Amino acid sequence: MSAWQEGRRSDAEPCREQDIGLFEITNRDGRARLGRLHTKHGILETPALLPVINPNIRTIEPREMWDRYGISALITNSYIIWKHDNLKQQAIRDGVHSLIDYPGVIMTDSGTFQSYIYGDVEVGVEEIVEFQNSIGVDIATMLDVFTRPDMSESEVKSAVMETAERAAISIQTAKDTMLNGPIQGGVFKDLRILSAKKMAKHDFSIHPIGGIVPIMEKHMYKDYVKIMLSTLPYLPPNRPVHMFGCGHPMLFPMSIALGADLFDSAAYALFAKDGRLLTPWGTEKLAELVDWPITMPCVAYTSPNEVRGLDSEEQVKILARYNLEVTLTELARCKQAVRDGTIWRLAERRSHQHPALREAFLWITTSPNKAGLSVVDLEELAMTDRAAARERDNTRGSWENSWDWIVSAQESPKKGGVSWGGDDTYFRPHIVEARRQLTSRWKTPEPKGNGSDDVLILHGRPGPWRERCSDLMTRLTHHAEGMEVMIMTPLGLIPYSMEDLNPFSHVSGPSWIWRRKPDLPWIRRELERFELGDRRIILCDLEGDGIQARCMNTLVEAGVLKAINDENASDIPLDTEGRSIAIDKVRRRHVSDKMTVLLNVEHSLARELLQDATFVINRQGRIKNAISSSGKHIASPRLTDGGISLTTDGAIELHSHRRRKIPTGFDTTQAWNFIGEGPAWVVVDDDAEPFVRKGRNVFHGFVLAADPWITPGRTCLIVNQKGELLGHGLSNCCSEEFAVFKKGIAIKTRDGLREAN
Ligand code: GUN
């Protein structure tokens, strides 16, 4: 009988020698990531929860965690083993895996937490790392100095400095054992940054965020997220981040959305001892339950009442299992949300579970009022939670970079609809990024100055708008070419040429979100973001039938279509030739605007490339391919998300228009400073060239340089060191990530160029 049939899982296989310690990303959603950490006891898939095992008291056997729960890593305490002679001798003799009977990844802590609880520990800095090494742990922890939230700034600073001073000798002592380099700093932003910068310089494998247990115990979740946001942007992105002592499932979605990879939990056992159950929305007392908050496999055939009747040891065992099962389920839910691109939405939902969590969430999303970044001007939110949150925190402005760090990693457009979640919707980072991209890159053509340079705002209905408005657009293009047509969506105004763009066109929610009365000052501010602030505004409600007639009447009333008399308004004359010229103009605009916004092509260049373009149209009348005047298929609008896919001929064309020098290195300056520079370039080394030319993906370790504006999910051009085009593809990461990752796919190549051109 196989191990699997017996209910056993086979033991972990060691990873390849050269991979040990490496971390790779397999999926991402903004700063949230799914990864694989390579160790001597197999691959640890992240995000992961490492249950805490006390070698003296085992509520659930480690072997059962491996076999039954599929847990690939756990954490135990080397200091406890070191202190108890019987454990110590056995660990030295047989190794830690045999001591606790566990075949997976074992991480050990160093005794720092005991020093926080009991005041001091008698073990030395090198001694404890040496010991962890000698008992064969997979991931050891150096002896850091714990920082409590009640410590003064100078006390915390000396703890940070002392921890940093111990780093070099700890790394040296660990030899080839992977080592945790904890970040301290209490609740002081600058000291967290200092700690992150100092620890990042050493060759640690993982960075735990330390000193957060008392913060979580006191429900200081706003401080918890501030600690994350002040630390993570300064850590090398190729090292997993571990939230030390965080094991409550309620915190998982938000922590993962902000970039956490590892958690450890004594909570499953501690809460069980206390007769309490963990749930994704908080904690419940067994004493008060008639039904289980969630049915879990371990309690499927029993009731809270029956469990209350068990002796206390049995009761703790069953509650510990319950807590572990709930925790693992929430973690699995988070992982799926990362794959689906909905982790922020999950964090947003969970934020309502606890007032302190909600406060933390509102604090993160109270984005600094940087022009063009927030959808709703904060001034307008005077009565809302966010305005209140901002008022109470006058340091918010100094966190602008952290918010940008989250926003800049978002993929846009992405697949899938936006489900309306009230005001929170505006502050979802991928929506903020979509708006930033649109308003910073889109440009209106030079005004015609023929009296038709107004803006027509279509409002009152959800999309797709093309079905109802395409004839209207054709006629307007013919009769009033300088007029911009914008659509009012619940996420802000969008140009008509972007009418199918995700997320704007994919919002599902109550019908009133589309029926909001247009507010002129708001529209004016929106238009200013598009540099259309000085245009005359004409409003047209799309509700009901006869849209075209109504629009035309509105335009006639506004005096835009002077040539048309009222009777003819709904049916502006347009001969066949005029119609086909106008239809082509609308199509050209559609593709050129998308190239400008989504491929970062300078708007006049995009228009020039499409000057005499022709289009292949599908059965629904939508553009399938854009063909340049020289007969080359250069791009294809995507029907799923309203994006645009570059073709190889399109890549060659855009490559030939590059004005900038070849990038050297990895600049981390914010992406939005490089408007109109085209798709980012990625320079790969000579070994990768033949593979890219064959259309193979680019792996980390082969990228030598990248443009600063490269971000996940965006089209990029792959070049060699001479700047010759090798292929094009979609990036998996930001510039600073290319610089440090050694494993995993860096760019998904769409196509390679067989020969040098
Ligand atoms: N466990 C919980 N918090 C900490 C911490 O700050 N440092 C270490 N080493 N272990 C911890």
Q: Which atom of ligand 1 is nearest to the CA of 212?
A: 3
Query: Looking at the predicted structure, is the pLDDT value of residue 388 above 60?
Result: no
Ligand 1 mean position, distance from CA 141 (Å): 9
Among 114, 162, 163, 213, which is best to mutate for testing ligand 1, by the most ligand atoms less than 8 A from CB?
213
Mean pLDDT of the chain: 91
The binding-site residues of ligand 1, defined as CB within 6 angstroms of any ligand atom, are: 109-110, 112-113, 141, 144, 146, 182, 210-211, 213, 244-245
Alpha carbon nearest to ligand 1 atom 9, residue = 112
Q: pLDDT: is 475 or 72 the higher one?
A: 72
Q: Which pLDDT does position 394 carry in this prediction?
A: 60
Q: In CATH terms, are 17-23+37-269 and 647-752 the same topology?
A: no
- CATH-assigned architecture of domain 17-23+37-269: Alpha-Beta Barrel (3.20)
Q: Which two tokens stand for residue 169?
A: 């000798």
Q: Residue 732, SS3?
A: coil
Under 8 Å between Cβ of 558 and 451: no
Amino acid making up residue 203: D
Q: For atom 11 of ligand 1, which residue has the closest CA?
A: 113
Instruction: Indicate the range of 330-339, 481-490, 723-732 predicted with least confidence.
Output: 481-490
Query: What pLDDT shows up at residue 3?
Result: 55
> For residue 209, which atom of ligand 1 is closest to its CA?
6
Question: Residue 750: pLDDT band by 50, 70, 90 thresholds?
Answer: very high
Residue 58 has pLDDT above 70, yes or no: yes
The CA 211 to ligand 1 mean position distance, Å, reads 6
Nearest-atom index, ligand 1, CA of 210? 6
List the single range of 10-19, 195-204, 592-601 with lowest mean pLDDT. Answer: 10-19
Ligand 1 centroid – CA 51 distance (Å): 14
Q: Which architecture, in CATH terms, is 647-752?
A: Roll (2.30)
For the stretch 497-508, pLDDT in tens is 999 999 999 999
Among candidates 702, 692, 685, 697, which has minimal Cα distance to 752?
A: 692
Q: Is the pLDDT of residue 380 over 90?
A: no
Tell me what pLDDT residue 630 has.
87
Q: For residue 398, what pLDDT band results from cuts at 50, 70 and 90? A: confident
- Structural domain spans, the chain: 17-23+37-269, 366-573, 575-638, 647-752
pLDDT-derived band at 480, boundaries 50, 70, 90: confident
- 352: pLDDT strictly greater than 90: yes
Considering only 410-424, 563-577, 687-701, which range has the smallest mean pLDDT? 563-577
Question: Which one of 113, 204, 206 would you pick to mutate in the ligand 1 pocket, going by the greatest count of ligand atoms within 8 A of its CB?
Answer: 113
- C-beta of residue 734 within 8 angstroms of C-beta of residue 664: no
Band (pLDDT 50/70/90 cuts) for residue 571 is low
Upper half-sphere CA count for residue 25 (Cβ side, 13 Å) = 29
pLDDT at 378 over 50: no
> Which positions are annotated as active-site residues?
109
Taking the centre of ligand 1 as the mean of its atom positions, its distance from the CA of residue 115, in whole angstroms, is 10
Residue of minimum CA distance from atom 10 in ligand 1: 113
Whole-angstrom Cα distance, residue 525 to residue 372?
10
Which atom of ligand 1 lies nearest, measured to the CA of 110? 9
Q: How far away, in angstroms, is 273 Cα from ligand 1 center?
A: 22
DSSP reduced 3-state for 654: helix
The answer to whether 67 touches 58, Cβ cutoff 8 Å, is no
pLDDT at residue 551, rounded to an integer:
81
